[in-house]
Amino acid sequence: MSRTGATLDRARVLGPIPKTMRAGVFREKGIVRVEEVPVPEVSDGEVLIKVAACGVCGTDIKKIFHRYVEPPQILGHELGGTVLAVGRGVNKWKPGDRVMSFHHVPCGKCFYCERRLFSQCKQYKTTGLTAGFTPNGGGFAEYVKAMPWVADRGIVALPDNVTFEEATFIEPINTILKAVQKARVAANETVLVIGCGPIGLQLLLVAKLAGPRLYTSDPMAVRRAKSLTLGAIESFDPSGGKLVEEIKVRTEGRGADAVLVAVAHPAAVVEALAAARPGGRVLLFAANDPVTKIEFPAAAVGIDEKEILGSYSAAADIQEAAAELVLHKRLPVMDIVTHRFPLDKIQEALELAAKPTAESLKVLITHA
């Protein structure tokens, strides 16, 4: 088999394809090493993308530092880059196209897809973007391959005025829009966002589009201040123990209509339920690991009729709408980027994302 794959149409390759590439390989708990690995071979229906930038997601951090997946793997799924090669049968894309790619794409026909539960679809759970080893995104590498179902329905074209760094937000903003819609955020409601890290601030930005009164909380003063510049009316320090009281004072004693939880800590869920009004909604965005247990007063749900909602990953039917929020620059996503690291310093980048400082928010891996 040739280096470009036996079924690759050589007329549709942008320059030579190297045999090997650099990649950040998850090798053991908390450790990612930069190694030389084979460039994925492209077959019928597949697309090879040269990665220009990739965001570090909280899910990557959990997988690496808590070993929620088994190594070796190449992670990273918030990416933008350039199509380098396409296999036979690919008509939507050509070498040189500027794109971003999702790593999960549902079948669109199963029981779950028919009910808009795309992230529960069996095919959705089968990662279709890889840089080698067990497919798991692959954005922490120089090249990634999109498998046929992703190449067909999971790649988004980038206009020339959108940078690759901006493109890294298309996938996470989709997950955020899905969560805000699931929480049924509406105009003139009172909404509290718990946590002003990268996810919390993106929840704030997208929720703001619906026109609610937005409040935030975070123990870090710099992050609270950042939320105010992005649209929050007020921001509170939860460590003082008065967050619930502050929200009730501002809502005639009722509590928030919706609370969006962007903190992976059980205590935040209890506080969110207390801050929500009777009949209000609590959306858990960060509670996506298989280990954490959450306890809460049963009366909050059984008597006060508060809803606890979950939202995980992206939704296929809002792919275009979510992408346009970034492509049309309706959200100041770059305002939350604080650090950029080359691939050779990926371990440093991951450690910063895992243990953020007062100055750090969104971390990107960029390629020269």
Are residues 127 and 144 part of one domain? yes
Whole domain around residue 320: which residue ranges?
8-171+315-366
Cα 11 from Cα 274, distance rounded (Å) = 62
Residue 65 lies in a domain: yes
Domain end (from 283, 310, 337): 310
Q: Looking at the structure, do residues 110 and 93 belong to the same domain, yes or no?
A: yes
Q: Do residue 134 and residue 268 come from a single domain?
A: no
Q: State how many domains the chain has.
A: 2
319 assigned to some structural domain: yes
Q: Output the domain CATH number for residue 343.
A: 3.90.180.10
What CATH number has the domain bearing residue 222?
3.40.50.720
What's the confidence (pLDDT) of residue 107?
96
Are 224 and 292 members of one domain?
A: yes
Task: Verify that 298 and 358 share a domain, yes or no.
Answer: no
- The pLDDT score that the predictor gives to residue 157 is 98
Same domain, 260 and 327: no
- Domain annotation covers residue 2: no
In a domain, 226, yes or no: yes
Per-residue pLDDT of 218-249, as tens digits, reads: 999 999 999 999 999 999 999 999 999 999 99
What's the pLDDT score for residue 292? 83
> What is the amino acid identity at position 301?
V
At residue 249, what are phi and psi to the nearest 5 degrees? -60, -35
Question: Which pLDDT score, from 0 to 100, does residue 8 have?
Answer: 53
Residue 13 is predicted with a pLDDT of 78
Q: In this structure, is residue 127 part of a structural domain?
A: yes
**Does the residue 1 lie in any domain?**
no
Asked whether residue 305 falls in the same domain as residue 320, the answer is no
Helix 221-229 × helix 198-208 angle, to 10°: 20
**How much is the pTM?**
0.95
Residues 209 and 305 in one domain: yes
The full 3-state SS of the chain, as one line of letters, equals CCCCCCCEEEEEECCCCCCEEEEEEEEECCEEEEEEEECCCCCCCCEEEEEEEEECCHHHHHHHHCCCCCCCECCCCEEEEEEEEEECCCCCCCCCCEEEECCCCCCCCCHHHHCCCHHHCCCCCCCCEECCECCCCCCCECEEEECHHHHHHCEEECCCCCCHHHHCCHHHHHHHHHHHHHCCCCCCCEEEEECCCHHHHHHHHHHHCCCCEEEEECCCHHHHHHHHHCCCCEEECHHHCCHHHHHHHCCCCCCEEEEEECCCCHHHHHHHHHHEEEEEEEEECCCCCCCCCCCCCHHHHHCCCCEEEECCCCCHHHHHHHHHHHHCCCCCHHHHEEEEEEHHHHHHHHHHHHCCCCCCCEEEEECC
What does the pLDDT read at residue 287? 76
Asked whether residue 101 is domain-assigned, the answer is yes
Domain membership flag for residue 290: yes
Statement to judge: residues 20 and 107 lie in one domain:
yes
Which of 266, 284, 310 is a domain's end point?
Answer: 310
| pLDDT score, position 288 | 74
Q: Does residue 108 come out as left (phi exceeding 0), alpha (psi in the -120 to 50 range) or beta?
A: left
Q: Chunked in runs of 10, what are the mean pLDDT values of the chain (368 residues)?
A: 46 82 97 98 96 97 93 98 96 96 97 96 97 97 98 97 98 98 98 98 98 98 98 97 98 98 93 98 86 90 97 96 98 98 98 96 93
Domain stop point among 284, 310, 336:
310
Cα distances (Å, whole numbers) of residue 292 to 65, 72, 264, 267, 295: 15, 24, 9, 11, 10
Q: Which residue is associated with the tokens 């205590």?
A: 267
Q: Is residue 45 located within the same domain as residue 87?
A: yes
132 with 188, same domain? no
Same domain, residue pair 143 and 236: no
Q: How far apart are CA 33 and CA 147, in angstroms?
A: 25
